[in-house]
Amino acid sequence: MCPPEHFDVRYAINPWMSGDTPVDTARAARQWEALAAAYRAHGHTVDTVAPEPDLPDMVFAANAALCLHGKVFGSSFHAPERRPESAAYEKWFAADGHPVRRPESSCEGEGDLVPVGGLILAGTGFRTSRAAHAEIQEFFGVPTVALQLTDPYFYHLDTALFALDDENVAYLPEAFSAGSRQVLERLFPRAVRATRDDAMAFGLNSVSDGRHVFVAPQATGLIDRLAQEGYVPVPVDLSEFHKAGGGIKCCTQEIR
């Protein structure tokens, strides 16, 4: 995770960022600390990456890479404003002993890449290119399934879908093209289908350890569904980050 020391909304690269409510930085810091504390309280280790000035979106660590089987595929950001983040995160990975492969085409890490079981689900349409999907499959040797995103509010795959465990996902069907919806139905017939309200509350920008689901408290319908399915919802409010189009998952890079 990257502390929100320099977090702010200073440009608009997704529809959430055009709002005129300024970020409450003190509140953002408290919310971010509460997320880190929730992870630690549930047995997860949290490492931090040094935040850099003038990179107000660097707090969204998920976008920096996909780390799988100990290999790291980095990011090439679509927006010029975010491009310097790649090198900042590469330094952290290198210090941790992991060289980072920089994608040749536009690719935003776990923002658009969701490993589930033996697959990588890969979003495209707004940020990550189809060409990057091919690079990813070649780099990891893991079947990579392209999913076409269609709604600008759900510009990253991780705003419209998350992995519950190795076998199942939760997602918003209408965020995807008709063909991609069919792909998801075939792959995950028992999936938890969310409502648009829950997705607009960043309910699908969640992190699951297979049992606990760290989820936005505003996603009340989804929280009930998850509990019915036997998961343990752990609500954590990141509402200040919603102003930039991010939530729990966006603030979390999972080191696999």
Interface contacts to ligand ARG, rule CB under 6 A = 13-14, 17, 57, 60, 62-63, 82, 111, 156, 158-159, 244-246, 249-250
Structure tokens at 168: 């199942």
CA dihedral 28, 31, 35, 40 (to 10 degrees): 110
CA dihedral 30, 46, 65, 232 (to 10 degrees): -80
Given 67, 107, 250, 251, the catalytic residue: 250
Residue closer to ligand ARG (CB basis): 35 or 185: 35
Burial label for 99, CB within 10 Å (0-12, 13-18, 19+), is exposed
Q: CB of residue 76 vs ligand ARG: minimum separation in angstroms?
A: 13
Cβ pair 185, 203 in contact under 8 A: no
Residue closer to ligand ARG (CB basis): 53 or 230: 53
Q: CB of residue 152 vs ligand ARG: minimum separation in angstroms?
A: 11
Q: CB of residue 198 vs ligand ARG: minimum separation in angstroms?
A: 16
**Catalytic residue at 69?**
no
Q: CB of residue 124 vs ligand ARG: minimum separation in angstroms?
A: 14
CA 198 – CA 220 distance, rounded (Å): 7
- Return the DSSP state at 240: H
- The label of the residue with tokens 């923002």 reads 111
Residue closer to ligand ARG (CB basis): 225 or 249: 249
Q: CB of residue 186 vs ligand ARG: minimum separation in angstroms?
A: 25
Cβ pair 180, 171 in contact under 8 A: no
Given 78, 133, 156, 242, the catalytic residue: 156
Burial label for 234, CB within 10 Å (0-12, 13-18, 19+), is buried
Cβ pair 119, 187 in contact under 8 A: yes
- The label of the residue with tokens 């776990």 reads 110
**Catalytic residue at 156?**
yes
Residue closer to ligand ARG (CB basis): 11 or 182: 11
Residue closer to ligand ARG (CB basis): 123 or 233: 123
Chain centroid to CA 95: how far?
23
Catalytically annotated residues: 156, 250
